[in-house]
Amino acid sequence: MNIWLASGNTHKKLELEAIFRTKGDGRDIVIRVPADAGIDNFDPPETGSSFAENALIKARSLYRLLKERQPSSFRDGEPVLADDSGLCVEALEGRPGILSARYGGKDGKKLEAAKRNALLLEELDARLEFLPPEKQNRKAHFVCAMVLCYSEDRFFIAQETFEGELVNTIGAGRGSGGFGYDPIFRIPSLGRTAAELSEEEKNAISHRGKAGKAIAGFLAF
Protein backbone atom coordinates (compact mmCIF):
# COMPACT_ATOMS: atom_id res chain seq x y z
CA MET A 1 0.00 0.00 0.00
CA ASN A 2 1.31 3.45 -0.89
CA ILE A 3 1.06 6.37 1.49
CA TRP A 4 2.09 9.75 0.08
CA LEU A 5 4.12 11.85 2.50
CA ALA A 6 3.66 15.59 2.08
CA SER A 7 7.32 16.29 2.76
CA GLY A 8 10.73 15.85 1.21
CA ASN A 9 12.37 15.40 4.62
CA THR A 10 14.38 12.16 4.44
CA HIS A 11 14.56 11.83 8.23
CA LYS A 12 10.78 11.99 8.57
CA LYS A 13 10.36 9.45 5.78
CA LEU A 14 12.67 6.98 7.51
CA GLU A 15 10.97 7.42 10.88
CA LEU A 16 7.51 6.97 9.37
CA GLU A 17 8.59 3.88 7.43
CA ALA A 18 9.59 2.31 10.73
CA ILE A 19 6.38 3.40 12.48
CA PHE A 20 4.05 2.14 9.74
CA ARG A 21 5.99 -1.00 8.89
CA THR A 22 3.64 -3.96 8.27
CA LYS A 23 0.28 -2.73 9.49
CA GLY A 24 -3.25 -3.98 8.97
CA ASP A 25 -3.50 -7.36 7.28
CA GLY A 26 0.25 -7.73 6.88
CA ARG A 27 0.75 -5.92 3.59
CA ASP A 28 3.78 -3.71 3.48
CA ILE A 29 3.29 0.03 3.52
CA VAL A 30 5.43 2.06 1.14
CA ILE A 31 6.01 5.70 2.00
CA ARG A 32 6.28 7.79 -1.15
CA VAL A 33 7.32 11.43 -1.39
CA PRO A 34 6.33 14.16 -3.88
CA ALA A 35 9.45 13.58 -5.97
CA ASP A 36 8.23 10.03 -6.67
CA ALA A 37 5.36 11.65 -8.59
CA GLY A 38 7.59 14.15 -10.38
CA ILE A 39 6.62 16.94 -7.98
CA ASP A 40 9.81 18.82 -7.22
CA ASN A 41 10.39 21.45 -4.53
CA PHE A 42 7.16 20.68 -2.70
CA ASP A 43 6.98 23.40 -0.04
CA PRO A 44 3.50 24.87 0.46
CA PRO A 45 3.32 28.04 2.59
CA GLU A 46 2.68 27.08 6.21
CA THR A 47 0.28 29.89 7.08
CA GLY A 48 -1.55 28.11 9.89
CA SER A 49 -1.44 29.25 13.49
CA SER A 50 -1.15 25.72 14.92
CA PHE A 51 0.60 22.44 14.20
CA ALA A 52 -2.71 20.85 13.14
CA GLU A 53 -3.54 23.67 10.71
CA ASN A 54 -0.13 23.45 9.05
CA ALA A 55 -0.29 19.66 8.77
CA LEU A 56 -3.66 19.91 7.06
CA ILE A 57 -2.37 22.60 4.67
CA LYS A 58 0.45 20.29 3.58
CA ALA A 59 -1.79 17.23 3.24
CA ARG A 60 -4.40 19.05 1.16
CA SER A 61 -1.75 20.69 -1.02
CA LEU A 62 -0.18 17.37 -2.01
CA TYR A 63 -3.59 15.71 -2.43
CA ARG A 64 -4.64 18.43 -4.90
CA LEU A 65 -1.42 18.10 -6.89
CA LEU A 66 -1.72 14.32 -7.13
CA LYS A 67 -5.36 14.54 -8.23
CA GLU A 68 -4.59 17.24 -10.80
CA ARG A 69 -1.52 15.61 -12.34
CA GLN A 70 -2.52 11.94 -11.96
CA PRO A 71 1.07 10.62 -12.15
CA SER A 72 1.44 6.97 -13.09
CA SER A 73 2.80 6.19 -9.62
CA PHE A 74 -0.41 7.40 -7.95
CA ARG A 75 -3.69 5.52 -7.74
CA ASP A 76 -6.99 7.04 -6.64
CA GLY A 77 -7.73 6.12 -3.06
CA GLU A 78 -4.13 6.23 -1.87
CA PRO A 79 -3.94 8.46 1.22
CA VAL A 80 -1.73 11.48 1.80
CA LEU A 81 0.08 11.77 5.12
CA ALA A 82 1.39 15.03 6.53
CA ASP A 83 2.80 16.06 9.84
CA ASP A 84 3.81 19.33 11.40
CA SER A 85 6.01 19.13 14.41
CA GLY A 86 8.19 21.29 16.58
CA LEU A 87 9.73 21.95 19.96
CA CYS A 88 7.98 24.01 22.62
CA VAL A 89 10.06 25.36 25.52
CA GLU A 90 8.12 26.24 28.66
CA ALA A 91 10.30 29.18 29.77
CA LEU A 92 10.13 30.64 26.26
CA GLU A 93 6.32 30.57 26.32
CA GLY A 94 6.18 27.70 23.84
CA ARG A 95 8.75 28.99 21.37
CA PRO A 96 10.01 28.05 18.83
CA GLY A 97 6.80 26.02 18.34
CA ILE A 98 5.46 25.97 14.79
CA LEU A 99 8.54 27.94 13.72
CA SER A 100 10.97 25.27 14.97
CA ALA A 101 12.37 24.35 11.56
CA ARG A 102 12.81 28.01 10.63
CA TYR A 103 14.02 29.23 14.02
CA GLY A 104 16.93 31.65 13.67
CA GLY A 105 16.82 31.65 9.89
CA LYS A 106 16.97 34.76 7.73
CA ASP A 107 15.77 35.63 4.23
CA GLY A 108 14.04 32.27 3.89
CA LYS A 109 17.21 30.31 4.65
CA LYS A 110 17.24 27.80 7.49
CA LEU A 111 20.07 27.49 9.98
CA GLU A 112 22.04 24.28 10.22
CA ALA A 113 20.76 22.13 13.08
CA ALA A 114 23.87 22.59 15.25
CA LYS A 115 23.72 26.38 14.98
CA ARG A 116 19.98 26.41 15.60
CA ASN A 117 20.39 24.26 18.70
CA ALA A 118 23.12 26.50 20.09
CA LEU A 119 21.00 29.60 19.45
CA LEU A 120 18.01 28.09 21.26
CA LEU A 121 20.09 27.25 24.34
CA GLU A 122 21.50 30.78 24.35
CA GLU A 123 18.01 32.28 24.20
CA LEU A 124 16.82 30.02 27.01
CA ASP A 125 19.76 30.92 29.26
CA ALA A 126 19.19 34.63 28.64
CA ARG A 127 15.50 34.25 29.46
CA LEU A 128 16.06 32.26 32.66
CA GLU A 129 18.11 35.10 34.13
CA PHE A 130 15.00 37.28 34.26
CA LEU A 131 12.53 34.71 35.56
CA PRO A 132 11.67 34.19 39.24
CA PRO A 133 13.23 31.07 40.78
CA GLU A 134 9.97 29.10 40.72
CA LYS A 135 9.76 29.49 36.95
CA GLN A 136 13.38 28.73 36.16
CA ASN A 137 13.28 25.35 34.46
CA ARG A 138 14.41 23.80 31.21
CA LYS A 139 11.24 21.84 30.51
CA ALA A 140 10.33 21.33 26.88
CA HIS A 141 8.20 19.05 24.77
CA PHE A 142 7.92 18.09 21.14
CA VAL A 143 4.53 18.26 19.44
CA CYS A 144 3.46 16.34 16.35
CA ALA A 145 0.17 16.88 14.56
CA MET A 146 -0.35 14.20 11.92
CA VAL A 147 -3.02 14.17 9.21
CA LEU A 148 -4.13 11.22 7.10
CA CYS A 149 -6.03 12.64 4.14
CA TYR A 150 -8.28 10.65 1.77
CA SER A 151 -9.91 13.70 0.17
CA GLU A 152 -10.29 17.45 0.68
CA ASP A 153 -12.96 16.90 3.32
CA ARG A 154 -12.19 13.42 4.59
CA PHE A 155 -9.23 13.27 6.88
CA PHE A 156 -8.11 12.19 10.34
CA ILE A 157 -5.89 14.13 12.74
CA ALA A 158 -3.86 12.91 15.72
CA GLN A 159 -1.69 15.14 17.89
CA GLU A 160 0.80 13.88 20.47
CA THR A 161 3.64 15.17 22.64
CA PHE A 162 7.05 13.97 23.80
CA GLU A 163 8.04 15.40 27.20
CA GLY A 164 11.57 16.22 28.32
CA GLU A 165 14.00 19.05 28.98
CA LEU A 166 16.82 20.89 27.26
CA VAL A 167 20.41 20.14 28.24
CA ASN A 168 22.40 22.79 30.13
CA THR A 169 24.98 23.54 27.44
CA ILE A 170 25.53 22.75 23.78
CA GLY A 171 28.52 20.64 24.89
CA ALA A 172 26.12 18.46 26.88
CA GLY A 173 24.31 17.47 23.71
CA ARG A 174 24.64 13.76 23.03
CA GLY A 175 23.89 11.14 20.41
CA SER A 176 24.12 10.66 16.67
CA GLY A 177 20.61 9.38 16.02
CA GLY A 178 17.49 11.32 15.18
CA PHE A 179 17.72 14.82 13.77
CA GLY A 180 17.03 18.47 14.53
CA TYR A 181 16.81 19.24 18.23
CA ASP A 182 17.17 15.59 19.31
CA PRO A 183 20.78 15.90 20.63
CA ILE A 184 19.81 18.66 23.09
CA PHE A 185 16.47 17.17 24.16
CA ARG A 186 16.92 15.00 27.25
CA ILE A 187 14.42 12.53 28.70
CA PRO A 188 15.00 12.70 32.49
CA SER A 189 13.48 9.28 33.24
CA LEU A 190 15.95 7.66 30.85
CA GLY A 191 18.94 9.92 31.46
CA ARG A 192 19.53 10.10 27.71
CA THR A 193 18.80 12.48 24.86
CA ALA A 194 16.42 11.66 22.03
CA ALA A 195 19.45 11.29 19.77
CA GLU A 196 20.81 8.51 22.00
CA LEU A 197 17.71 6.34 21.69
CA SER A 198 17.44 3.42 19.33
CA GLU A 199 14.84 3.59 16.55
CA GLU A 200 12.54 1.26 18.48
CA GLU A 201 12.92 3.16 21.76
CA LYS A 202 12.25 6.52 20.17
CA ASN A 203 9.24 5.40 18.15
CA ALA A 204 7.66 3.92 21.29
CA ILE A 205 7.61 7.23 23.19
CA SER A 206 8.13 10.07 20.70
CA HIS A 207 5.53 12.55 19.54
CA ARG A 208 5.72 11.27 15.94
CA GLY A 209 5.72 7.63 17.01
CA LYS A 210 2.60 8.01 19.16
CA ALA A 211 0.77 10.11 16.57
CA GLY A 212 1.70 7.63 13.85
CA LYS A 213 0.35 4.70 15.82
CA ALA A 214 -2.94 6.54 16.34
CA ILE A 215 -3.18 7.39 12.63
CA ALA A 216 -2.41 3.79 11.66
CA GLY A 217 -5.79 2.83 13.08
CA PHE A 218 -7.48 4.91 10.36
CA LEU A 219 -5.70 3.26 7.44
CA ALA A 220 -8.13 1.73 4.97
CA PHE A 221 -6.72 -1.56 3.62
> Which residues are catalytically annotated?
84
DSSP label of 22: S
User: Residue 105's beta-bridge partner residues?
Assistant: none
DSSP E strands: which ranges in 77-221? 80-89, 139-151, 154-166, 185-187, 192-193
Burial (CB < 10 A; 0-12, 13-18, 19+), residue 97, is: middle
Kind plus residue range of the DSSP H or E element containing 5: strand 2-5
- Give 96's DSSP letter: B
